[in-house]
Amino acid sequence: MVLIDKVDLIHKFVQTYNAAQDSIEENRVEEAKQRYRDLMDVYHQITTSDIEPVHKELAYDQVMKVFQGVKGLKVRSRINAKSVALATVIIIISIVIFIKPEIVGLIPFEFDQPPMWGAADNRFVVSGVPKKGAMFPGKHARTIDLDDFFVDPNKDTLTYLATSAPGLQIEVRGSLLTFNPEKGVIGPKAITVVASDGKHITRKEIQVDVV
Same domain, 125 and 197: yes
**CA dist., res. 102 & res. 100, Å (int):** 5
99 is a domain residue: no
**CA dist., res. 39 & res. 184, Å (int):** 36
Q: Is pLDDT at 138 greater than 50 in this prediction?
A: no
Q: Which residue has the higher pLDDT, 111 or 76?
A: 111
Q: What is the pLDDT of residues 173-194, one digit of tens each?
A: 889 999 989 888 889 999 999 9
pLDDT value of residue 88: 54
CATH number at 154 reads 2.60.40.10
Q: What is the pLDDT of residues 9-30, one digit of tens each?
A: 788 888 898 898 898 988 888 8
pLDDT value of residue 46: 83
Q: Are 210 and 167 in contact (CB under 8 A)?
A: yes
78 is a domain residue: no
Domain encompassing residue 8: 2-71
Residue 143's pLDDT band (boundaries 50, 70, 90)?
Answer: confident
Residue 90's pLDDT band (boundaries 50, 70, 90)?
Answer: low
Task: Report the DSSP beta bridge partners of residue 176.
Answer: 145, 173
Task: Report the DSSP beta bridge partners of residue 171.
Answer: 178
Q: Which residue has the higher pLDDT, 168 or 101?
A: 168
Report, in this order, helix, strand and coil percent for the chain, each rounded to 5.
45, 25, 35
Same domain, 122 and 198: yes
Spell out the alpha helix ranges (H) of 72-108. 81-99, 101-104
Residue 146's pLDDT band (boundaries 50, 70, 90)?
Answer: very high
Same domain, 66 and 141: no
1: burial class by Cβ within 10 Å (0-12, 13-18, 19+)? exposed
103 is a domain residue: no
Residue 142's pLDDT band (boundaries 50, 70, 90)?
Answer: confident
Q: Is pLDDT at 97 greater than 60 in this prediction?
A: no
In the chain the first and final C-alpha atoms are separated, in Å, by 38
Q: Is pLDDT at 127 greater than 50 in this prediction?
A: yes
Average pLDDT over residues 86-111: 48
> Based on the structure, what is the number of domains in the chain?
2
Residue 91's pLDDT band (boundaries 50, 70, 90)?
Answer: low
Contacts of 163 (CB under 8 A, 6+ apart): 170, 191, 192
**CA dist., res. 165 & res. 167, Å (int):** 6
Q: 37, 71, 105 — which closes off a domain?
A: 71
pLDDT value of residue 191: 92
